[in-house]
Amino acid sequence: MKRLVLARRETPTRGGQPLAFLAGLVFALLLGAILLSIAGDPVIDVYKRMFERSLGSKDVISATLNRATPLALAGLAVSIAATMGLWNIGAEGQIMFGATAATFVGRVFPDLPGPILIVAMLLGAVVGGALWAAGPGLARAELGVSEIITTLMLNEVAIRLVVYLQQGPWKDPEGFSFPQIEARPDQAGLGNIWERVHLGVLIAFAVIVVFAWFSSRSVWGYELRIAGSSPKTAAYAGISMRRKVLGVMLLSGGVAGFAGGIELSGTATRLNENLSNGFGFAGIIVAALALMRPSGVALVAVAFGAVQVGGLSIQSIGVSSAVASILQALILFGAIGAGVLSNYRIQMVDRKVVA
């Protein structure tokens, strides 16, 4: 009797991941097309509009780049934690609390000059994000508590905290009956550098480049990778795992919080519960697709930014913007399948041989 098994290739296929991503994209577009046609939507029109409204002109490209920024920073946050084998599922909450901390700074110093206030608010955001990740980091470092669940739970807490501030303590007295938080100071907005692309996009890009360089060239980055791939070796080398775990979680949370600060000063005018529009969760998919590499994170984030901006544009032709979420998840599942195929080959073997 014969059966099919997956056999690992001696050497993985070269350039596998970019190809796997493209395969995932094709897979997602095909399945998406089937779904759209079942729903009776005009497939070609939908895809054409999604493309035109996300990559078709300077104006929409800048919207895509703005959208890609929090995705890239969230993806970077996830990949920083992953270098040590940790899962930061809490970028969503860290983005929200980072933006909350930045809003707090803006409320305390509403009259500072723009550049100083922006720096202060962004620093506040970094500290806020790091604080939100500190609990899970400490619990993991000291007691071995799974950071997956703790970071996940704190997402829901952070979102509800913002809702609470919006309803009560920080409610805009001029917002009439509609509960909203007062707008951040005007001078705390990041200016545009090209078309509608704001300065935060450049800053975020610089952060990613610096981190990529730092992690590959510094002793710290080297120790991280050792600690992540082989804790025993790290222990022999005298690397303190507890301090590394906590440090990495703080850094990861800080980067996610920074995304919240950039979002608040770049594209939003005030803090609300939708400020992080699933960026933290999408960031995990982005990081996974980029195999946790910072340079890959930036590229995948731009692609996802385009899908999201394109998704918003099809509402006006009567198609649900949920198509964007579906496509993003399908890209990941398609790429997983393609990635496995590039590292394995399907083999037919006798049942006896395996058993």
Partner 1 sequence: MILAITFSEDAIIGLVVAAIQFGTLLYLAALGETITEKAGVLNLGVEGMMAIGAVTGYIGGAASGSPWMGLLVGAICGAIISLVHALAAVGLGADQVVSGLALTILGLGLADFIGSDYTGDPRRAHFGEVDLPVLTDIPWVGETIFAATPVSYLAVALGVATWWVLSRTSLGLGIRAAGESASTADAAGHSVAAIRVGAIAAGGALAGMSGAYLTNTLLGTSWNEGVTAGRGWIAVALVIFGAWRPGRVALGAVLFGLTLALQTRLGFFDINVSGTLVSMTPYLMTVIVLVVISYRARNQPSPAPAGLGLAYRREER
Binding region for partner 1 (CB under 8 A): 7-8, 35, 39, 87, 89, 135, 139, 143-146, 148-150, 152-157, 159-161, 163-164, 167-168, 278, 281-282, 284-285, 288, 320, 322-326, 328-330, 332-333, 336-337, 340, 354
- 344 phi, psi to nearest 5 deg: -130, 160
Residues 6+ apart with CB under 8 A from 232: none
Buried b vs exposed e over 16-44: b needs ≥16 C-beta within 10 Å?
bbebbbebbbebbbeebeeebeeeebeee
Element (H, E) at 118: helix 114-143
Q: Which is nearer to partner 1, 89 or 118 (CB)?
A: 89
Complex with partner 1: residue 70 or 135, whichever CB lies closer: 135
Phi and psi torsions of 8, nearest 5°: -70, 135
Q: How far is the CB of 76 from partner 1 (least distance, A)?
A: 16
Q: Is 171 helix (H, G, I), strand (E, B) or coil?
A: strand
Shortest distance, position 169 Cβ to partner 1, whole Å:
10
Minimum distance from residue 163 beta carbon to partner 1 (Å): 5
| Shortest reach from residue 252's CB to partner 1, in Å | 15
Helices 279-289, 294-313: axis angle to 10 degrees equals 130
Query: With respect to partner 1, which residue has the nearer C-beta, 107 or 160?
Result: 160
CB of 233 or CB of 315, closer to partner 1: 315
Q: CB-wise, 4 or 44, nearer to partner 1? A: 4
119 vs 241, beta carbon nearer partner 1:
241
Which of 234, 319 has the CB closer to partner 1? 319
Residue number with CB closer to partner 1 (47 or 265): 47
In angstroms, what is the minimal distance from the CB of 124 to partner 1?
22
In the complex with partner 1, the residue whose CB is nearer, 59 or 142, is: 142
Closest CA to 290 of 44, 100, 80, 88: 80
The least CB distance from residue 300 to partner 1, in Å, is 13
Nearest to 209 by CA among 102, 92, 299: 299
Smallest gap from residue 113 Cβ to partner 1 (A): 35
Helix (H) or strand (E) holding 346: strand 344-350
DSSP string, 280-342: HHHHHHHHHHTTT-HHHHHHHHHHHHHHHHHHHHGGGGT--THHHHHHHHHHHHHHHHHHHHH
CB 3 within 8 A of CB 346: no
Min separation Cβ 16 and partner 1, Å = 14
Q: Count of CB atoms within 10 A of residue 167's CB? A: 12
In angstroms, the CA 93 to CA 278 distance is 10
Q: CB of 74: closest distance to partner 1 in angstroms?
A: 12
* Residue 118 amino acid letter: I
Kindly report the number of other CB atoms within 10 A of residue 230's CB atom. 12
